[in-house]
Structure 1
Amino acid sequence: MRPLRYSINVTLDGCCHHESGLPPDEESMDFWTRQMAGVDALLLGRVTYEMMEAAWRRPASGEWPEWMDDAEIRFAEAIDGAQKYVVSSTLRDPDWNAELISGDPEAAVRALKAEPGAGLWVGGVALPTQLAELGLIDEYEFLVHPVVAGRGPTLLAGVQRQLELESVHRTAFRSGAVATRYRPRSR
């Protein structure tokens, strides 16, 4: 059975919006590159899929944009080549190494988890909240940046049940960011 890990950047005040001033640096980009390399596939909602595709899909020219540094290129190559499953009722033909999940997301995610392999990764905001509510997330990993956004969507907003987690791994970054991985206590 493949574990499902929810991983995301977050500010000190819980904001998880990509425009909230979370500064990427080489160390954090390499962290996310390792995360992509350590799973069999990514599970994304439509909004996150489209946002990630716009930022990280290899351009038709085959050349990465000049604004990307080496760490961003390493991440882009990892996510560009990753298998993706997109949960959506509105997206029709995802084509970025992606398969569409348009029916019951709970049944589809349970089936994906039942397959052998290293694991699955879920990112974004709405889909992980839904999966947390269903008890389908096996690990939570938050890269907390020393930033207060003061606005934007917050982490797991809308979860109706309390999630009791225990810390199982922690990584401190030179920037002051800290990545902590948690598992539900009941597992």
Structure 2
Amino acid sequence: MPEPLRYGINTTLDGGCSHEAGLPPDAESMAFWTDELRRSDTLLYGRVTYELMQGAWRRPASGQWPDWMDDSEVAFAEVMDPMRKVVASTSLDTVDWNGELLRGDVVEAVQRLRERPGRGISLGGVRLPAALAAAGLIDEYTFVVHPVIAGRGPRLLDGVELTLELVERREFRSGVTVQRYRPTA
């Protein structure tokens, strides 16, 4: 049985997927995302998301987390930092941060990746997930919906048509809702 591929992302009410759209993390949502990371042993990103995550969550050379991080962000970083990262990119020559580069046809490469033993693959980003969703490879979708209208920026699964079944819904004190879905077909 293939390793489950789970896509999770923060989004606005209008489907915006940019953290510049006012999606500040709070302790409750950071604890949720930390627990989500623990469900998988591999992170799968495209180049843009990999570089963003690396810039924010990689342990600094000093070994000390930056002062801007609160306890919930440190907990998240402590889980993410040592995880295996697989990066789909045609423009990078190498990756580090416990990473490996995924080359060639992304759909075929992800199908092979899923054949490895493990707890699951956590997928993030915008463009790579759209390609994998269109190919029918994603087993679970988790949308953390913030009570914000972005009005601009990249959109959630733009151009992809899916029918999903709601399997879990949770609400946080901040008004954020977690909606977990599985494909119906």
Classify the TM-score, shorter chain: over 0.9
Matched, 1:172 2:168: no
Q: 1:126 matched to which residue of 2?
A: 127
Aligned-pair identity (%): 60
CA distance in 2 between counterparts of 1:132 and 1:92 reads 26
Equivalent residues in 2 for 1:51-90 (5 A)? 51-90=52-91
Supply the distance in 2 between the matched residues of 1:158 and 1:54 (Cα, whole angstroms): 29
RMSD: 0.8
Q: What amino acid does structure 2 have at the position aligned with 1:182?
A: Y
2:109 is matched by which residue type in structure 1?
A
Deviations 1:136-168 (A, max 9, x none): 111111000111111111101122xx2110001
Aligned length: 184
CA contact (8 A) 2:17 2:155 kept: yes
How far is the alpha carbon of 1:99 from its aligned partner?
Answer: 0.5
In structure 1, how many angstroms separate the alpha carbons of the residues matched to 2:19 and 2:5?
A: 22
- Return the TM-score normalized by structure 1: 0.96
1:57-81 deviation line (CA, Å, top 9, x unaligned): 1100000001100000001111111
Alignment of 1:140-151 (within 5 A): 140-151=141-152
Q: How many Å apart are 1:40 and its aligned residue?
A: 1.5
Q: Which amino acid aligns with 1:146?
A: P
Unaligned 5+ segments in structure 2 are: none
Query: What CA distance in whole angstroms lies between the structure 1 residues aligned with 2:178 and 2:34?
Result: 14
- Matches of 2:79 and 2:92, distance apart in 1: 23
Give the counterpart letter for 2:157 in structure 1.
L
Greater mean alpha carbon deviation, residues 46-55 or residues 106-115: 106-115
8 Å CA contact retained: 2:5, 2:140: yes
Q: Give, in angstroms, the shift of residue 49 of structure 1.
A: 0.2
State the SS of the aligned residue for 1:128.
Answer: helix
Q: State the Cα deviation string for residues 2-46 of structure 1 (Å, max 9, x = none).
A: 110110000001100111100200000011111111101010000
Give distance in 2, aligned partners of 1:171 and 1:180: 7
Q: State the match for 1:32 in structure 2.
A: 33
Structure 1 counterpart SS, 2:21: coil
What residue number does 1:182 align with? 181
How far residue 56 of structure 1 moved from its aligned partner, in angstroms, is 0.7
Q: Do the aligned residues in 1 keep the contact of 2:95 with 2:101 (CA within 8 Å)?
A: yes
> Structure 1 stretches (4+) deviating beyond 3 angstroms?
none
Distance 1:92 1:54 in 2: 18
**Shift of the alpha carbon at 1:116?**
2.5
The whole-number CA distance in structure 1 between the counterparts of 2:130 and 2:95 is: 22
Q: Which residue of 2 aligns with 1:3?
A: 4
- 113-122 vs 6-15, which moves further: 113-122
TM-score (structure 2 length as normaliser): 0.97
Cα distance in 1 for residues equivalent to 2:97 and 2:159: 30
